[in-house]
Amino acid sequence: MPTEQLMKIWGDGIGGINLSHTVGGGRHNTVGDVMLIQALLNFIAEAEGSVEKIGVRSTDELPNVDGNWDSFFYNSVTAFKRKNAHILLSSGGEPFDHVYPVSRDYEIVDDDKWPTIMLLNQYATDATGIMRNREIENSSKDPGFPYPTSMLIMFPELRQHLI
């Protein structure tokens, strides 16, 4: 099951959600882990109002948040990794459809390449800021929600798969 954890990026900690196991072709693909990646991709696109950071052509190409590893999931993960290949960590031929968990003490420093799960979490943190600014503009009220709370509000079905 995915786990909420503090991820260290350039000396700062951001709240995030990490995978429990690798997701991708030929892997176990637990429902919670697959659902986490699906939710992150959809959350980023929804909050940003664009699929640009994801790399797919339209929201119709995003996977459903249902925990099923299918062609939509495969295509959106590979599109994300291709779009962001210049900043993603590559472990010598790592399959484009795989997303690996990071250890609790993993830290991004200086110009390090990013593990996919950490980049997804960073983009979700950025997306939360965009959502928050939009809420303030529209209602003059600061909703004050941090990521991952805001993602769990949008995708409550994910909560039952977290530990």
Percent share of the chain, pLDDT over 70: 93
Output the pTM of the full model: 0.90
96/159: higher pLDDT: 159
| pLDDT of res. 25 | 86
| pLDDT of res. 94 | 67
Tokens representing 5 are 């954890």
Tens-place pLDDT, residues 127-137 = 888 777 777 77
Question: Where does the pLDDT of residue 138 fall: very low under 50, low under 70, confident under 90, or very high at 90 and above?
Answer: confident
Q: Partners of 15 in the beta sheet?
A: 6
Look at residue 143 and tell me whether its pLDDT is greater than 80. Answer: no
Question: How far is it, in rounded angstroms, from Cα 54 to Cα 80?
Answer: 5
Residues 6+ apart with CB under 8 A from 10: 108, 109, 110
DSSP state of 88: B
Look at residue 6 and tell me whether its pLDDT is greater than 70. Answer: yes
Tens-place pLDDT, residues 39-94 = 999 999 998 999 999 999 999 999 999 999 999 999 999 999 999 999 998 755 66
Tokens representing 58 are 């339209």
Question: Where does the pLDDT of residue 109 fall: very low under 50, low under 70, confident under 90, or very high at 90 and above?
Answer: confident
Tokens representing 28 are 């176990």
